[in-house]
A and B are shown apart, each in its own frame.
Chain A
């Protein structure tokens, strides 16, 4: 039995320590935003934020997460009050099938928390591990730039703290 901090709440988890975080999020905590894509850390659809960094939850066993803060898409905003990054993705209509988008948003959020005004090259380099098979890359890039502008007024990390409470 271990304690996992997800979206600001402590959860008692009854799972083998080598269980991937993704399985615990989806099966135990019913947080289904992070997706199972390849299961090998090669596609990015399972991306979540751990202690401010984008992490591939399918290759991250929970035994690595003692005392760390996990943030999933559910921890960013709500339907009524989407976070700036979520608003930006909606306003740019950046999803086609949407399977990759939760991962895309989480990696972009981690980037913007660290660097609220990334250059185009920095965005592209950061997003490299996340794949989209529909081809909405240009819209995704636009959404990240829009989110950067939206966040300029509001502190990038405050959205998480507010909704995580």
Chain B
């Protein structure tokens, strides 16, 4: 009886859902030859794909570019990225430009299936037709790779793709990006890129219980791969307030003298941006500086004090004057050799008074970097830091972190560092095995202008 009622409800829901959810397939095409695309359009598409950071999710470490298969952990299960090379059977080789544009605009595959919003079409819906055309031309001229999709690991009912139609009704806003005429052309260009293709909010905006970005907390910080994506609005925890110039140098070259080096998931982002036309990166920096907003007088003063402290001749922590002597001793012995010298970034260690990781309320980024270090980029001069996971036990990492927090930030002590260290040790091991490519940025990008 109960089963009958439940069954009836399920059938009714499925029928109603079908009506809302059904999308037609778009006819398969013969894969177009790479020569049929204008090289200038392909080149533009390459830059756009870099701005969109497409390679980050659509490539597994050591795997073929854009062939997909990367496991993306979500609170609902694991979703695997798809093969977006022009392979006719396992990639998008039979997709017309119309099908590609529909996927970008409304998250529907060529065959009419709804795509999971791990593919950030809530942002890509803002990408204009010309840019979609260039992206399509770029992807359709990549090397086709035979790489069948991996099955997502989602529990019922989320494994039913029509459920995504309901999510879209709630959260997918299709009103295209509207320029603000009271702002400069550069600001508007930046806003178009940030809110659209660059999809910064996908990591930097917190999500609600249904996995959608909270529209009331835009850029207030989020989570990605057990890293904290910092708040990049007025709540930014960086000791020195961000400016458009600092953002530009950070996004272009992967580091900024007053903020340090990009690492974790952001490293891939800046690595990609290093190959992009500087005017677009400048536009992103201009818009984001406005999102950060003008810092309070107090923050400006604190920032100036921190820069002065970082520039002052090194004053090694005197072990007798601090409560946490074990932590201070580890810092002096293992860290100060790079972080307390005047060697300039990116090859010297950043003065830790400038570290956003140590000033953030969330200790995970600092823990991750102590455990895993910063790995070099293949074939590039790049910053590097040895990881200490194998030479320090959990308690030693905790004491070090507690010392760094008390010595280098003006923030209250972290709570729960012990638990965070255990968690980071577990997840970093997995991350290092599955992350795509180098996990930090080239210091001196040589990729610019590559065809």
The finding on whether chains A and B are genuine partners in a shared complex, rather than unrelated, reads yes
12 of the cross-chain contacts (CB-CB < 8 Å) are: A17-B333, A18-B332, A40-B337, A55-B390, A59-B334, A61-B330, A61-B334, A63-B329, A64-B392, A64-B393, A64-B396, A121-B62
Q: Does A56 make an interface contact (CB < 8 A)? A: yes
Given contacts A18-B333, A61-B329, A63-B333, 8 further A-B contacts (CB under 8 A): A39-B337, A40-B338, A42-B384, A54-B390, A55-B391, A59-B388, A63-B329, A121-B62
Task: Please tell me the number of chain A residues within 8 Å of chain B, measured between CB atoms.
Answer: 21
Chain A residue at minimal CB-CB distance from B338: A40
Residues A53-92 near B (CB distance < 8 A): 53-56, 59-61, 63-64
Could you say which of A17, A121, A128 has the most chain B C-beta atoms within 10 Å of its C-beta? A17
CB contacts (< 8 Å) of A39 on chain B: these are 337
Question: Which positions in B face A, CB cutoff 8 Å?
Answer: 62, 326, 329-330, 332-334, 337-338, 373, 375-376, 384-386, 388, 390-393, 396
Closest partner residue, chain B, to A51 (CB atom) = B390
Residues from chain A with a CB closer than 8 A to the CB of B384 are 42
Q: Looking across the interface, which residue of chain A has its beta carbon closest to that of B392?
A: A64
Q: Quick check: is A2 within 8 A (CB to CB) of the other chain?
A: no
The 7 A-B pairs of least Cβ separation, nearest first, read A61-B333, A41-B386, A18-B333, A53-B390, A55-B391, A60-B391, A55-B390
Closest Cβ of chain A: how far from B395's Cβ, in Å? Answer: 10
A55 proximity list for chain B (CB < 8 A): 390-391
Query: Is the CB–CB distance between B337 and A59 below 8 Å?
Result: yes
User: In the complex, how many angstroms separate the beta carbon of A115 from the nearest chain B beta carbon?
Assistant: 13
Interface residues in chain A, defined as those with a beta carbon under 8 Å from any beta carbon in chain B: 17-20, 39-42, 50, 53-56, 59-61, 63-64, 121, 128-129
Q: Do the beta carbons of B333 and A56 come within 8 Å of each other?
A: no
C-alpha spacing A118/B349, complex, angstroms: 33
Q: How far is the CA of A121 from the CA of B329 in the complex (A)?
A: 37
A50 to B391, CA, bound (A): 7
Closest residue of chain A to B393, judged by CB?
Answer: A64
- Residues of chain A within 8 A (CB-CB) of B373 are 41
Closest to A124 in B: B62
Which residues of the partner chain A approach B330 to less than 8 Å between Cβ atoms? 61, 63-64
Decide if A59 touches B386 in the complex (CB within 8 Å): yes
Q: Which of A17, A39, A40, A53 has the most CB of B within 10 A?
A: A40
What's the Cα separation between A49 and B396 when bound, in Å?
18
A16–B386 alpha-carbon span in the complex (Å): 22
* In the bound complex, CA of A17 to CA of B325 (Å): 12
Which residue of A42, A50, A61 contacts B390 across the interface (Cβ within 8 Å)? A50
Considering only CB atoms, which chain A residue lies closest to B343 in the complex? A40
Bound-state Cα–Cα, A19 to B334, Å: 9
| Cα separation A109 to B122 with both chains bound (whole Å) | 49
A48 nearest CB across to chain B (Å): 10
Cross-chain contact B333 with A20 (CB below 8 angstroms): yes
User: In whole angstroms, what is the CA distance A56 to B391 when docked?
Assistant: 8
**CA of A56 to CA of B333, assembled, Å:** 13
User: What are the residues of chain B within 8 A of A20 when measuring CB–CB?
Assistant: 333
Bound-state Cα–Cα, A53 to B330, Å: 19
Known contacts A42-B384, A55-B391; A60 and B62 CB within 8 A of each other:
no
Assembly CA distance A129 to B390 (angstroms): 13
Q: How far is the CB of A7 from chain B (nearest CB, A)?
A: 18
Q: How close is A52's CB to chain B, nearest CB, in angstroms?
A: 9
Complex alpha-carbon distance, A18 and B334, angstroms: 8
Pick from B329, B386, B391, B396: contact of A42, CB under 8 Å? B386
Give chain B nearest CB distance to A146 CB in angstroms. Answer: 24
Report the nearest B residue to A42, measured CB to CB.
B384
